[in-house]
Chain A
Amino acid sequence: AQSVTQPDIHITVSEGASLELRCNYSYGATPYLFWYVQSPGQGLQLLLKYFSGDTLVQGIKGFEAEFKRSQSSFNLRKPSVHWSDAAEYFCAVGAAGSARQLTFGSGTQLTVLP
């Protein structure tokens, strides 16, 4: 079975600073990887996804993520954080055999300081 680890429960950055949120997955084959963002009391919005091909994936709102098979990682990055980026971020993995079942990480809460 697949699993996802987001090592950082809470990250605080200053507005304009760069951001990296970590995600490590466990799965025997090539996984389907997703990053979602959730504002308080809202649903989840897809930021980006990786299925195959180029390991550097561009998403919405200026986010990107890099798939590193050797490190089983799919870290999310943004070069300059905006105050509106404050939210909860979830990494998720779907397995090839049952990709409709997403396994979510525990989430990283991002706080942005003015």
Chain B
Amino acid sequence: DTEVTQTPKHLVMGMTNKKSLKCEQHMGHRAMYWYKQKAKKPPELMFVYSYEKLSINESVPSRFSPECPNSSLLNLHLHALQPEDSALYLCASSQAAVGETQYFGPGTRLLVL
């Protein structure tokens, strides 16, 4: 099974709201990722967790707060977002080794009003 699940599929939030995106995988992968993808653009890496520890933060604003509660779950907490944060947020996972394939979830389509 190479499935990564993400919830919710769609999310609309105001600039003062707090919401969370959830990602789950049961492939035994120990690396998990958050990407942001704007329309007609490639995914941009936001965060990487390796063995439940944050290993890469690509200078993402603090209104995005990642959390990895266990090896199967990855959350992205959202607070005080801006309209320009509207995008498709993709989660991926892989084995925590060099060159391993990243498997992507279907994404959460976020609209910030």
> Chain A residues with Cβ under 8 A from B40's Cβ?
107, 109
> Chain B residues with Cβ under 8 A from A107's Cβ?
40-42
Scoring A residues 19 to 49 as 1 if CB is less than 8 Å from chain B, else 0, what string do you get? Answer: 0000000000000101010000111111001
Q: Is the Cβ of B48 less than 8 Å from the Cβ of A51?
A: no
> Chain A residues with Cβ under 8 A from B4's Cβ?
43
Q: Is the Cβ of A41 less than 8 Å from the Cβ of B109?
A: yes
Q: Does A72 contact B (CB under 8 A)?
A: no
Residue from B6, B96, B102 having most chain A Cβ neighbours under 10 A: B102
Q: Is the Cβ of B56 less than 8 Å from the Cβ of A101?
A: yes
The secondary structure that dominates the B interface is strand
> Chain B residues with Cβ under 8 A from A100's Cβ?
31, 33, 48, 50, 55-56, 94, 96, 98, 100, 102
B18-47 contacts to A (CB < 8 Å): 31, 33, 40-43, 45
> Chain B residues with Cβ under 8 A from A112's Cβ?
none
